[in-house]
Amino acid sequence: PAFLINSFICCSFFVNMDYQHLPKIELHLHLDCSLSYKVVQQIDPAVTYEDYCHSFVAPPHCTDLLDYLTRAVKGFELMQTKEQLRLVTLDLFEQLKADNVIYAEIRFAPLLHLGKGLSPVEVVETVDAAFTEGKAMTGMEGGLILCTLRNYTEEQSLETVKLVQQFRGTNVLAFDMAGDEAGYPVAAHVKAFQFAKDNGIHCTCHAGEAKGPESVWDTLGQLHPTRIGHGVRSAEDEKLLDHLVKKDIHLEICPTSNIQTNIFRSIEQHAADKIYRHGVSMSINTDARTVTPVTLSSEYNKLQDVFHWDKAHFLQCNLEGIRHSFTTEAVKQKIAARIQEAYNNC
């Protein structure tokens, strides 16, 4: 009967939905890990596509997070002048626009970009100005997160968080700690995160990626962020998952990146579905659009195929993402309304 045929067609469309055209939120995205080949060619025409694929893009399975991070070096090496920083920032806006991202928080470590004489203030000023240019060019909303790194000294972390304070009122929204989680404890960064807390600075922090749930407990207990970058190994501890729900801690989950860093051997083993079903606030993110060569659209389609997620799952993740974003309440409400309307009309 025609009714059954039409029902089958509708069901098939729903299951195999293409999410590229729907608006999206991206909360966990590293600027220096997201250089397209086009912008690399602009900055250094000597880099061939083969060089790019070998040195800028991580393989499907790295040994560990530290192995994965070696690919980031090539990115920030090409981001040492004001013009290079501007080009890379605008290039990322073009990538996000093509992926229908309407709100993004982009993070970078200012102290990685001093190799050709720029001061940390000049680095942040340049990226902030380029971010404003990118917003005008694309109509996107968002902000910047300044990162300290696990291997940095206490002084370097304090210098970075004080840049967040200095640039309050610009596109700079928050403070983060990234880097080699397994190799460095949080002790050297406690003062920086305490400074953030004392001054009302929003914080996220990488944890539960290269180390297990004990790293998340330690990070929450000593640094007190409201979001955790990755955090997927929280799934190994039911009490931790309950704690995340109770305290409304948001996890910025990056599925394919976690396969590359050898946390999970395959997407089928990934903890995203378990974390979602436990009721933890979470969003789906790319982490890096070069080192991890994905888009949000491709990540959504992967989770749809493997875990049979549908638009209700992605609507929830996007709404939770904007709720836990570091922007103003007015922007949150505006973006949430756009997301809700688009998914309702899908």
CA distance 278 to 281: 9
* Complete DSSP assignment for 138-166: H--EEEEEEEEETTS-HHHHHHHHHHHHH
Cβ neighbourhood burial of 32 (10 Å; 0-12, 13-18, 19+): buried
> Which residue(s) pair with 284 in the sheet?
253
Write down the residue that tokens 């180390």 correspond to: 211
**Total Cβ atoms within 10 A of residue 213:** 21
Whether 209 sits among the annotated catalytic residues: the reply is: yes
Which of 105, 141, 181, 209 is flagged as catalytic?
Answer: 209
Read off the tokens for 164. 């967040």
> Which residue(s) pair with 230 in the sheet?
207
Q: What are phi and psi of 33, to 5 degrees?
A: -110, 15
CB burial of 313-338 (b: ≥16 within 10 Å; e: otherwise) equals bbbbbbbbbbebbbbeeeebebbbeb
Provide the total of helices (H) and of strands (E) in the chain, helices listed first: 16, 8
* Complete DSSP assignment for 32-77: GG---HHHHHHH-TT--HHHHHHHTS--SS-SSHHHHHTTHHHHHH
CA distance 219 to 205: 8
CA distance 316 to 312: 6
Residues involved in catalysis: 209
